[in-house]
A and B are shown apart, each in its own frame.
Chain A
């Protein structure tokens, strides 16, 4: 009897709270005037977007046009570091929080965020864009054939190089000639020795004990290798991966590499002092070099495709970074959120602006055929660098970062540290890492 009454009381309370929340819902809708489906009725919807500064700079370029097109949608940006963004979102999505409506996600972490099951399924909405986007970008956004994010920019890997240092070393400086002279990583090694001998400069910068692994990962990517294979099994202890690791270890041990983690201040200082001859990295490094570390060196840098493992390899490009926009599953305004995303990422004009002015090279392939691609960049000796990026993307192996990438990346840093600090052999270090990955991720 007691029990029953308790249950009735509970269900009564539940119904009351439902009613209350329904009331308050409609009340607030009337009060703040947010009618989700009413278009052009003069009622405004506010979208909250979580994003980091650099990406917001791209969106900002298009906000005026967006406001013109959708006067009923207000957008509030909340900027934070990308790592903070993931943590905060994890907490808020767990509490069924409707904020944010839209969030920016890096490709490196996208798959992990998709797995936690808190993004809105946008399979139908992205359908018209399926064929217009660089194919590999979809992989990390997809789980069980459902798509949870719209690809934004992609970071095709290219090789930036210093003309003055190359010239001193007796190497060509014309981008096409450089590409054919430094066709393979072996050529690159020979060039590195020349640069060191003739100029004293280092070929590239990467830390021995605190590597970001980006060069290593780019070299794996272009050969279609990864920490995991197509079946999701751990594959970092394969002989091909060891080959790449040994190559990089040789470069380090012969003193051809400046010992500092890429994209940190010591690395940037070495760049601005002309101690680093090349940067093999994502296209967004153009902005890093030009605006952040080496603004005084206009005309000294050029861009070309990066070396391959062997001259007859089918793929030569790789991907590094890139981001996406997704919608919170609990968002109250999914339709408006999609309109925002579509306007920014599905629209050639918006993407072109972000490409030309914010250094975000789009994944939307229809942009590649527009005249914007011919733009010549003064900083890079008037070179049309966007064409080089597109060329790199064309020959990029269709690979995805996959969900355990952040963990694998961190463990890989320890592999180098073991080799350089403890004199471990690359084979043992890679094997130990693979075993640890298997155990921690429960993969095979």
Chain B
């Protein structure tokens, strides 16, 4: 009798111990996701009667040029900062990982600080910097005589995307650098020594040893940045409200507009579902592309 009781405990105890996560996941993640999927099949303005419309929201979404524009904007913004960010991140990481660098602690912190400063506060600072009329950047450039007329940093589509991209770059460079640094630390030092003995230059070993060996980490950073770019919200919301001409509209910003400004919760949910499917597909493709085989 006693033995079976003990056995039963052995069998069930682990599940009991890990259950809190699954219970919380169920309540706070799984249920909302399923509910959101259900909402995407209805037309609902927030008050109580939901109208079941089947796949109408999805049909409308695929015909909605704003949705495609928001994806296009995300791609443009992604291309504007991700390659540069990963390249700079890797260079900084290598520098901070090398023996000759002084003040490592200081630089590590200095590069990482932007990431944990409140994004809202940073956005407001960027508004002050980028402001066309009396922003710091325009004033500076004009005083130097580099430009004659103020640049419309937030008032023209391409500059606005550029401004958003540069703000994201500023915030996430340190974070990616940190990730890449962990990748660098797992590379055995003797590889470099062997290369040195064989007469390879520093630059050559960077491209032929460092980059191939942190490929996995680069992939991880790229996947995170892709998801991050498509779900940008605070930066474009505060800098430009998604404008001008919706040039900085992202899928998540569009979701917000549809739900909390236009009260189209069904439609907004269909954006969420499509966004989820899209992000999963893109991540899978990226992983396949970077696969060793």
A417 within 8 A of B: yes
**How far in angstroms is the closest Cβ of chain B from A202?**
11
Closest to B154 in A: A210
Closest chain B residue, CB of each to CB of A89: B46
Report whether B46 and A208 are in contact in the complex, using a CB–CB cutoff of 8 Å: no
Whole-angstrom distance between the Cβ of A253 and the nearest chain B Cβ: 16
Smallest distance from the beta carbon of A7 to chain B beta carbons, Å?
25
Partner of B244, one of A209, A260, A440: A209
B260 in contact (CB, < 8 A): yes
Q: Is the CB of B45 within 8 A of A116?
A: yes
Chain-A contact segment, one of B89-97, B128-136, B183-191, B222-230 = B128-136
Chain B interface helix/strand/loop/mixed: loop
Q: Is the CB of B133 within 8 A of A421?
A: no
**Contact A209 to B133, CB < 8 A, known contacts A87-B260, A94-B46, A116-B45:** no
Residue in B47, B128, B243 whose beta carbon sits within 8 Å of that of A417 in the complex: B243
With an 8 Å Cβ cutoff, the count of chain A residues facing the other chain is: 31
Decide: B245 and A90 in contact? CB cutoff 8 A.
Answer: no
Q: Are A116 and B244 in contact (CB under 8 A)?
A: no
Q: Measured between alpha carbons, how far is A418 from B156 in the docked complex, in Å? A: 11
Which A residues from 421 to 444 make CB contacts under 8 A with B? 421-422, 440
* Residues on the A chain within 8 Å of B128, using CB: 265
CB pair B46–A209 under 8 Å, yes or no, is: no
Distance between B255 CB and nearest chain A CB, rounded to angstroms: 13
Cα separation A131 to B134 with both chains bound (whole Å): 48
Q: Which single member of A209, A269, A414, A417 contacts B134 (CB below 8 Å)?
A: A269
| A79 sits at the interface (CB 8 A) | no
Q: Does A117 sit within 8 A of B, measured CB to CB?
A: yes
Given contacts A209-B155, A266-B131, A266-B133, contact A406 B261 (CB under 8 A): yes
User: With an 8 A cutoff between CB atoms, is B241 at the interface?
Assistant: yes
How distant is A228 from chain B, measured CB to nearest CB, in Å? 16
Q: Which residues of B contact A93 (CB under 8 A)?
A: 46-47
B positions within 8 Å CB-CB of A: 45-48, 128, 131-134, 152, 154-157, 240-241, 243-246, 257, 260-263
Given contacts A90-B263, A266-B133, are A209 and B245 in contact (CB under 8 A)? yes
In the assembled complex, which residues on chain B have CB atoms less than 8 Å from the CB atom of A314?
none
> Complex: how many Å from CA A260 to CA B157?
17
Give residues of chain A (264-283) contacting chain B, Cβ–Cβ below 8 Å. 265-266, 269-270
Q: Write the chain B residue with the least CB distance to A87.
A: B260
CA A209 to CA B155, docked complex, whole Å: 6
Closest to B128 in A: A265
Q: Is A413 an interface residue (CB 8 A)?
A: yes
Contact status B243-A260, CB under 8 Å: no
Main secondary structure of the interface of A (DSSP, over half): helix
Enumerate chain A residues within 8 angstroms of B152, measured Cβ to Cβ: 209
Question: Residue-by-residue, is A66-105 near B (CB-CB < 8 Å gives 1, otherwise 0)?
Answer: 0000000000000000000011001001100000000000
* Cβ contacts A to B, 30 pairs, < 8 Å: A90-B260, A93-B47, A94-B46, A94-B47, A94-B48, A112-B263, A116-B46, A117-B47, A209-B155, A209-B156, A210-B240, A210-B241, A210-B243, A259-B132, A259-B133, A260-B132, A266-B131, A266-B133, A266-B134, A269-B134, A406-B261, A406-B262, A407-B261, A407-B262, A410-B257, A410-B261, A413-B243, A414-B244, A414-B245, A440-B262
- Nearest chain B CB to A103 CB, angstrom units: 15
A115 is an interface residue with CB less than 8 A from chain B? yes
Contact of B245 among A87, A270, A418 (CB under 8 A): A418
Known contacts A417-B244, A421-B244; A116 and B47 CB within 8 A of each other:
yes
Query: Roughly how many angstroms separate A209 CA and B241 CA in the complex, as a whole number?
Result: 11
Give chain A's interface residues, CB within 8 Å of chain B. Answer: 86-87, 90, 93-94, 112, 115-118, 207-210, 258-260, 265-266, 269-270, 406-407, 410, 413-414, 417-418, 421-422, 440
Q: Is the CB of B243 within 8 A of A209?
A: yes
User: Do B245 and A115 touch across chains, with their CB atoms under 8 A apart?
Assistant: no
The 6 A-B pairs of least Cβ separation, nearest first, read: A209-B244, A117-B47, A116-B47, A266-B133, A417-B244, A209-B155
Distance (Å) between the CB of A418 and the closest chain B CB?
7
**Are B133 and A260 in contact, with the CB atoms below 8 A?**
yes
CB-based contact A117/B263 at 8 Å: no
Residues of B within 8 A of A269 (CB): 133-134
- In whole angstroms, what is the CA distance A15 to B153 when docked? 63
* A421 partner, pick from B134, B157, B240, B262, beta carbons under 8 A: B157
Residue among B128, B241, B260 with max Cβ neighbours from chain A (10 Å): B260
Please tell me which one of the listed residues A90, A115, A259, A414 contacts residue B243 in the complex, with CB atoms under 8 A apart: A414
Q: Which residues of A lie under 8 Å from residue B134 when comparing CB positions?
A: 266, 269
- B155–A210 touching, CB < 8 Å: yes
Min distance, Cβ B77 to any Cβ of chain A, angstroms: 18
Excluding A112-B263, A210-B243, 20 further A-B contacts by CB distance (< 8 Å) are: A93-B47, A94-B46, A94-B47, A116-B263, A117-B47, A117-B48, A207-B155, A209-B155, A210-B155, A210-B244, A259-B155, A260-B132, A265-B128, A266-B131, A266-B132, A406-B261, A414-B243, A414-B245, A418-B245, A440-B262
| A residues less than 8 Å from B241 (CB atoms) | 210
Residue with the highest number of chain B CB atoms closer than 10 Å, among A209, A259, A265: A209
Q: In the assembled complex, which residues on chain B have CB atoms less than 8 Å from the CB atom of A258?
A: 133
Known pairs A410-B261, A414-B246, A418-B245; A208 contacts B131 (CB<8 A): no
Whether A421 contacts B260 by the Cβ 8 Å rule is no
Partner of B45, one of A115, A210, A406: A115
Residues of A with C-beta under 8 A to B261: 406-407, 410
| Whole-angstrom CA separation of A422 from B240 in the bound complex | 18
